[in-house]
Structure 1
Amino acid sequence: MADDTTVSAVLDSLDRGLDAALDRLAGFLRIPSISTDPAHAGDVRRAAEWLRDELAGLGFQAAVRDTPGHPMVVARSQAGGARPLLFYGHYDVQPVDPLDLWNRPPFDPQIEDTPSGRVIRARGASDDKGQLMTFVEAFRAWREVHGELPSDLILLFEGEEESGSPSLRPFLRDNADELRASLAIICDTGLYADGRPAITTQLRGLVGQEVVVHAADRDLHSGAFGGLAANPIMILAQALSALKDDRGRISLPGFYDGVADLPPELARDWQALDFDAAEFLARVGLSTPVGEQGRTALEMVWNQPTAEINGIEGGYTGKGFKTVLPATARAKVSFRLTGTQDPQAIRRAFQDHVRRFVPGDCRVEFHDHGASPASVMDISDPAFAQAKAALTQEWGREAAFIGAGGSIPIAGDFKRILGMDTLLIGFASDDDRIHSPNEKYDVDSFAKGARSWARILAALR
């Protein structure tokens, strides 16, 4: 581990170079690397080449690597060190629609003064170009001060994250020997809601399922057939309402297999966050928590699995009124998974559950929409405590181990394909408006993010 003088010199370099770093970020943000739009394929490649050139200028062996979709950027330094580290981020961005809701052109970045401080506003400023560049600027300052890059570093920057990462898993499998390290580091997360630094140690998995119930061969007059003929909306509603019992527990057989109680260390960290469920719900016009009885609010959003109905339709939904028994009804249902729950076992259990409600003269069909297991990091690895201490020192607030209710599949892919855990550390704020018009990234987050990585790099060497 480097001494304080070694780290201080890098931090001073980052402070002196902040304006130049913001200019570089602005140049990166001007490239409209929208991966979902084929019209921007050339821009996505241009962003990859911009990154390659920046990294090569810092002494990395850097290359743009083609895939069946958009390219990967892979770079490597071999400076020795206690453990090799793989850094991951993505350089593609979301579409900008609706354009008329932007206060300025989305690919014309500007620094703005706001009541909460300076921000850089542009598409991709927070998700994920600004975050990715906190890595790069930390590496730049380290090399400027010490004449070499720290440790044995592998950088993997993706151009398809915002379009589902179709090329990522095959790329990891095909290049596993080249990419394998002792630890992965992902920058695509954020600060805790109150602004304290955080390390995300667990992510929920996801199962998506569409179900369609077919009854009669046409819509039926409810006066002539009501009470006698099967109603597929009623069938579906009964099946879905039976997913939970009166205590909020999910009733599918075997559903909780692999769900673990919260470890004591995480329970202490989460309790110290003083999460206010009523205040959290008030932001969206609600007030009363629901869910499994006997669980804390953070357990319910981070550590417990869920079953949610995301959409349901059937029958006549237009203006006026039409008294029919519909021929079909459909719903989209998702399950968030924790621990070692098996996504395919959950899918089968749900399908079996629905079939029990479908009469013999009706039929049901299912359409799968993805499945990924949860990711749970081994925080006994000393890197987690070292990174936590480095973040606490930089931000002047005790860093926290937190969970996330959503899913970041790449973290699970690193574990299953490359056999390594992941440090998920980012500096985005809840109000960064990612995926929305007027996206921004706090200049303070950008500056302190780069300083944080310098401290973490020193701690992990």
Structure 2
Amino acid sequence: MPGTRQRAIERAHESFDSGRYLAHLRRLVAMPTESQMPDRLPDLVRYCAETLPGVLDGMGFETAVLENPEAGRGPAMLSSRIEDPALPSVLIYGHGDVVRGLAGRWRDGRDPWSVTVAGDFWFGRGTVDKKGQHLIAIEALRAVLAERGRLGFNAKVFVETGEEVGSPGMRALLRRDHSRLAADVFIGLDGPRQTTFMPELKLGARGGVAFDLVVRLREGAHHSGHWGGVLADPGFILAHALATVVTPKGRIRVPGWVPAEVPASVRDACGAIVFEDIAGLPEADPDWGEPGLSKAERIFAWTSVIVLAFVTGHPDAPTNAVQPEARARLQVRHTVDVPGEGIVSALRAHLDAEGFGLVEIVPVMERDAFPPARTDPADPWVTMIAESMTRTAGAAPNVIPNSSGSNPSRLFAEELGTPVIWVPNSYAGCNQHGPDEHALAPLLREGLGLMAGIWWDIGEGAAPR
């Protein structure tokens, strides 16, 4: 009897139910792949050369370790199964690096480098960000192969080890190995969903630009009794400058920082997004931000600016003195509708026009320097995958025009020319990047079935060409 889609999904679920998925996850999590720490480079190499390839054993994949063009940075793994060059090719993305494990700060003495199962909560560094998620993609591929004997498309599993530090060297790697990585579509599994009860697609990311605003007036602090009211106070000057950036209710006032127009397909997608209230997380302030926009539009279709830090003097030990300097760090998140390269120059022109020419702008190079990206919600690949997920789940997925945060979508969209699509399998309360990172077991199991359905449908000829 020929294989069936439903049995492939059942095989994917069986991977979870039998404990095979958990056993693989334990091996992946056990590798302390902290990319922020230079001495972990051997662990990053081992993850690409031994640990993850071991999961793919017996599936007909050929594996290569791709050296990072940037010296001292972690490599990438490329495992390919090419069934026929005439078939569509799918680049399946993951990152094997994690943020610092923060051992000793997890509750109940949990070890970040082992998976602790507590009911539906599976604790461990990388369970959701992102080892547990690319493992879903691999186990779903295994299920389709077992049921049909072939995929029906060419699969390229690409896992880097530098995403948590901004994917250094990635653009050069994509250019160097372009022919090996070429594909018709990029599908990555990463991030939290808006709800625990609906599947989801994300179609890119917002970009991030960070910089310091600095007011430097003089050398050294001076006695507040003798000099207060006589010497200009940099804290107040900087506070007034910040007050020109947004209104008292958070509406952005800097010309060039917000989209001139939001595409209709993006507005339509935002209008259909369903949110879930998660216990312990804050509710959106209805009067903050751009008036007239929905919560979804403010998060996914607009620009935000945040004061990450503001300091003058010594807050831990205040002294009675007029301070010489004040400094604030700001972060702007923006969509593809706002050019990131113009953020700082637009602010410079704005501050000058407002009379704050003495406020310096010092750009900061850090993790959130990823540029923005967005696949059109009307793209045929998006439609096909959304229809597949609807068929499997019995409900249409949330289609998010772009992630509210940052990821390397733009690099792949520009260098490989593919639509970029993300299928998240976590939730907002997962504590990724903090102590007690955890996956929800039901979402992992559901994700295995959803991905098996997607792989099956692509192999059955549903893929756009």
SS in 1 for 2:203: strand
Q: CA deviation at 1:146?
A: 2.6
Preserved contact between residue 60 and residue 75 of structure 1 (Cα < 8 Å): yes
Q: CA deviation at 1:5?
A: 5.0
1:240 and 1:447 map into 2 onto residues whose CA distance is: 47
Q: CA deviation at 1:329?
A: 0.9
- Out of 117, 127, 152, the position equivalent to 1:111 is 117
Q: CA deviation at 1:56?
A: 4.8
Preserved contact between residue 376 and residue 401 of structure 2 (Cα < 8 Å): no
1:10 and 1:286 map into 2 onto residues whose CA distance is: 40
Quote the residue 1:283 is aligned against. Answer: 281
Structure-to-structure mapping, 1:246-325, within 5 angstroms: 248-256=250-258, 258-261=259-262, 263=264, 265-273=265-273, 275=275, 283-284=281-282, 288-319=286-317, 322-325=319-322
1:21 and 1:363 map into 2 onto residues whose CA distance is: 54
Preserved contact between residue 139 and residue 150 of structure 1 (Cα < 8 Å): no
Quote the residue 1:124 is aligned against. Answer: 126
- Out of 241, 244, 249, the position equivalent to 1:242 is 244
Q: 1:326 to 1:133 in 2, by over 3 A?
A: same
Specify the code of the residue in structure 1 equivalent to 2:96: Y
Q: How many residues align?
A: 449
- Out of 143, 149, 152, the position equivalent to 1:150 is 152
Structure-to-structure mapping, 1:28-427, within 5 angstroms: 28-48=28-48, 49-67=50-68, 68=71, 69-80=73-84, 82-103=87-108, 104-113=110-119, 118-245=120-247, 248-256=250-258, 258-261=259-262, 263=264, 265-273=265-273, 275=275, 283-284=281-282, 288-319=286-317, 322-355=319-352, 364=360, 366-369=362-365, 371-404=369-402, 406-427=404-425
Preserved contact between residue 374 and residue 407 of structure 1 (Cα < 8 Å): no
2:304 and 2:164 map into 1 onto residues whose CA distance is: 24
Preserved contact between residue 269 and residue 377 of structure 2 (Cα < 8 Å): no
Could you report, residue by residue, the CA deviation over 1:132-177 in whole angstroms, capped at 9, with x for unpaired residues?
A: 1011101112222233333012221011122322132221122222
Preserved contact between residue 200 and residue 401 of structure 1 (Cα < 8 Å): yes
Preserved contact between residue 88 and residue 155 of structure 1 (Cα < 8 Å): yes
Which is worse superposed, 419-428 or 215-224?
215-224
SS in 2 for 1:409: coil
Preserved contact between residue 342 and residue 373 of structure 1 (Cα < 8 Å): no
Q: CA deviation at 1:246?
A: 5.8
Preserved contact between residue 97 and residue 164 of structure 2 (Cα < 8 Å): yes
Specify the code of the residue in structure 1 equivalent to 2:254: L
Q: CA deviation at 1:211?
A: 2.2
Which is worse superposed, 133-142 or 351-360?
351-360
Preserved contact between residue 203 and residue 405 of structure 1 (Cα < 8 Å): yes
Length-normalised TM-score, structure 1? 0.88
Preserved contact between residue 343 and residue 372 of structure 1 (Cα < 8 Å): no
Which is worse superposed, 77-86 or 421-430?
77-86
Q: CA deviation at 1:77?
A: 1.6
Q: CA deviation at 1:331?
A: 0.8
2:184 and 2:204 map into 1 onto residues whose CA distance is: 18
Q: 1:207 to 1:58 in 2, by over 3 A?
A: same
2:56 and 2:379 map into 1 onto residues whose CA distance is: 29
Q: 1:65 to 1:287 in 2, by over 3 A?
A: closer
- Over aligned residue pairs, what C-alpha RMSD do you find? 2.7
1:298 and 1:12 map into 2 onto residues whose CA distance is: 34
Indicate the percent of aligned positions where both proteins have the same amino acid: 24
Preserved contact between residue 213 and residue 359 of structure 2 (Cα < 8 Å): no
Could you report, residue by residue, the CA deviation over 1:356-386 in whole angstroms, capped at 9, with x for unpaired residues?
A: 56778x6735233354432121233222112
Q: 1:166 to 1:349 in 2, by over 3 A?
A: same
1:101 and 1:26 map into 2 onto residues whose CA distance is: 17
